Structure 1
Amino acid sequence: MTSTAFITHRDCHLHDMGSYHPESPARLSAINDHLIAQGLEAYFLHHDAPLATLEQLARVHPLAYIEQLRQRMPEHGIVHLDPDTALCPHTWQAALRSAGAGILAVDLVMAGEVENAFCSVRPPGHHAEREQAMGFCFFNNIAVAAAHALEAHGLSRVAIIDFDVHHGNGTEDAFRNDPRVLMASIFQHPFFPYSGADSAAPNMLNVPLAAGADSEQFRRVVSEVWLPRLREFQPEMLFISAGFDAHHEDEMGNLRLTEKDYAWVTDVLREFAAETAQGRIVSTLEGGYSLSALARSVTAHLRALADL
């Protein structure tokens, strides 16, 4: 069994973009309830996410953007930044906790207190560009965590794996042409945010998949495209943008993955990290909107991370 941290915070439940919004507080409750029902809660080291600091956020987002976002937070009601992305009075705290979870995860893993960590947080992050909130995202949680590993812990090379159904345009925006970072992703294309398929940046290994792509196609990409490049890159730490909306039950997308695929890819990445990165993995929740499929998929991911 591997020591795995489970990092979350009650503030992440308070961010609310409206009763019909798919990125809802019920997502975290579904994950928690399923872990309890499966008798797995005791296997993880539970931590409350801290608040990310301005200095930590500013490694990815300009201070002017951070301040502009803070000033737009409402005292009452909901304020829309775009049709999909909205602020409520609790969004600021939740967004700082979501980014702070990744910071704590990196610190715990780098200190050797755990081998890997999963951040069960919202709002998600991988669509947040340096100066633009979008796609339910405000701060790029995985980019903030990766930048922390590079800047605060002095790592030379990190890899970010993104298997969300949507392209992580914000993560690409943060690290395009940064030789210290390799980003490997799959995503449905053409699909929101309509990016990634034509990236020429040498450190971006984007693999678009057509609607209807299934387990076999996904596993072939991981084995034949991602792994050879990862071995060549030799990252010192792995980061996972763990979106589960490519699940066949999730109506947000049209890929055909199952929870067995999430367990399999996590096993593959954990074995790879053991070879090259001292087992160091930080994973953070991105998409996943069918509550049952999300809960089962996260549980499969966590079982694999913890080698249960």
Structure 2
Amino acid sequence: MQKYTAKKKKKKSDNENLAGYIFILPYVLMFIVFTGIPFVVSIILSFVNVKFINNLENVRFVGFDNYVRMFQDADTMEALFNTVKYSLIYVPLIMVLGFMLAVILNKGVFMKNSLRSMIFLPYVSNMVAVAVIFKLLLGAKGILGQFLMNMGLERPPLLDMGWALPTVAIIAVWKGVGLNMITYLAALQEVPGELLEAAEMDGANRWHKIKNVILPYVSPTSFFLLISSIITSLQNFTIIQSLTEGKPGRSTVVMSLNIVRSAFTKYETSYASAQAMLMFAIVMIITLIQWRGQKKWVNY
């Protein structure tokens, strides 16, 4: 009897495992076709001299020439610097603002549900549509552009060499902060009320409760949002292309835009692949550092 029961349980377990594999199979296949294979091809292309318009007969192995060229190319290094600058503005701003909005709208605010919806709405809006609206508002004849010039700016922010990139990053934060806010709100719902009450009984003010109770409790959420925000900050091609097209000058040319131009304007497929691999390596290094560092500040 026990042998029959064990056999029945094993069969049931095997059937559940099979059902699980069937459910994930479409995703695995799509991932291999649309991500895995292109990734491997991109690695191979970065070590050869393929150009989009060249015949395959002219392809030859060039080793690390494409990678060496990147660090000797002033335009690519400028694009890399702009990417870092963009991320350093975008990531801290969207993290801090998302958390602050979540704390404020967690409870005790008039029309909090309506305010949550209003803040989240830009996130589900089309990026190109958002860019077109801000381009009109911040243009030389736009309301915000005119206002800022009256306040002392020589030209509209999107046409100013120094302000164009920070302005694009701030617009991206405005569009994406709703997701961070909603994610933090979900985490704040799980903070035990008794911990906050105990802290209050010990004389903790609002700042002390946030610092010593709420922040440690939502640290796993912060860790997740930090990684996702860094990755999102590097996926900035659409908003840059729609708002500035890399102008004025090359002040808003970031790596994503430089890669697309290398591949589809200059037709330097292998050089574009090498740039993409550099960005992949940077993301991997940052992620590994975060995974190692999370042991010191993330509380599970």
TM-score relative to the length of structure 2: 0.22
Which has the higher relative contact order, 1 or 2, with Cα contacts under 8 A spaced 6 or more apart? Answer: 2
* Higher Rg: 2
Question: Going by fraction, where is helix more abundant, 1 or 2?
Answer: 2
TM-score relative to the length of structure 1: 0.22
Question: Going by fraction, where is strand more abundant, 1 or 2?
Answer: 1
